[in-house]
Structure 1
Amino acid sequence: MPPAQDGPWLDDAAGRLIRPYTVSGGRTRPTTTLDLLSMVRATGTAPQSHLGPEHTLALGLCEGPTSVAEIAAHLKLPAVVTKVLLSDLVDCGALTARAPRFHAQPTDRSLLEAVLDGLRRRL
């Protein structure tokens, strides 16, 4: 028998109570091609269909251009789940997505270092 806990079991202490793939309905492939560096932005159009609370949270983070990686970090969800949620919002017209623009090579060291620095600041 496990030992009794000293205090109440709070949501923060429990961690995520819902598995991440439950949020996306078990889907692992977005219908829109999104990269971690893709920028998404709200269009101002309200979704016509009912979406989950995570969709609403993601949409709220997209008032200005925001990267997929940044949204995943804020939602504390795996990137693939976040891509599915954002793809749903693009499909219903609530978001627009723009692929990252590379002026040189997509594996440019300075670009990768800038992304790493940004992620470190966020985490």
Structure 2
Amino acid sequence: MGRGDAEGRLVRPFALTGGRTRPSRAEFTLITTVTAVDRQPDGTVRPQPEHGRILRRCAEPVAVVELAARLDLPVSVVVILLCDLLEAGRILVHPPYPVARTIPSLELLQKVRKCLDRL
């Protein structure tokens, strides 16, 4: 799977990641949100055009899966590039909120049912 650049050349995903196939960190899930940080590059990341595209799309918080769709890149490639940006301090990572593991009480469920019946 490849993607065309502005001049129509085919760019392979492994070329975008420098041959890396696995992320260097495990913070990212499909629903993790990321936000760009207004900082200058510190030189630890060899900037690629995709890094700039990601930072522009992350001006507002965006989920990893949505970012990949907007960039028309595989999620695995986007996560590797996000790891670069995180290590350079260029993005903030916001993990998904944990889902409550408690089961609602029977009383609450009955109240909800009564309200729905009234509709």
The TM-score, its normalising length taken from structure 1, stands at 0.69
Residue of structure 2 equivalent to 1:5: none
- 1:55 is aligned to 2:51: yes
Aligned residues: 94
Matches within 5 A, 1:95-106: 95-104=91-100
CA contact (8 A) 1:32 1:90 kept: no
| CA RMSD of superposed structures (Å) | 2.1
* SS of match in other structure, 1:41: strand
Matches within 5 A, 1:1-123: 17-33=10-26, 34-49=28-43, 50-104=46-100
Name the % identity.
39
Amino acid of the structure 2 residue aligned with 1:25: G
Q: Unmatched 5+ residue regions in structure 1? A: 1-10, 106-123
Deviation at 1:15, TM superposition (A): 6.8
Q: Unmatched 5+ residue regions in structure 2? A: 102-119
Distance 1:47 1:89 in 2: 9
Distance 2:41 2:8 in 1: 29
Distance 2:56 2:19 in 1: 23
CA contact (8 A) 1:47 1:89 kept: no
Distance 1:35 1:15 in 2: 31
Larger Rg computed on CA atoms:
2
Distance 1:16 1:72 in 2: 20
* SS of match in other structure, 1:40: strand
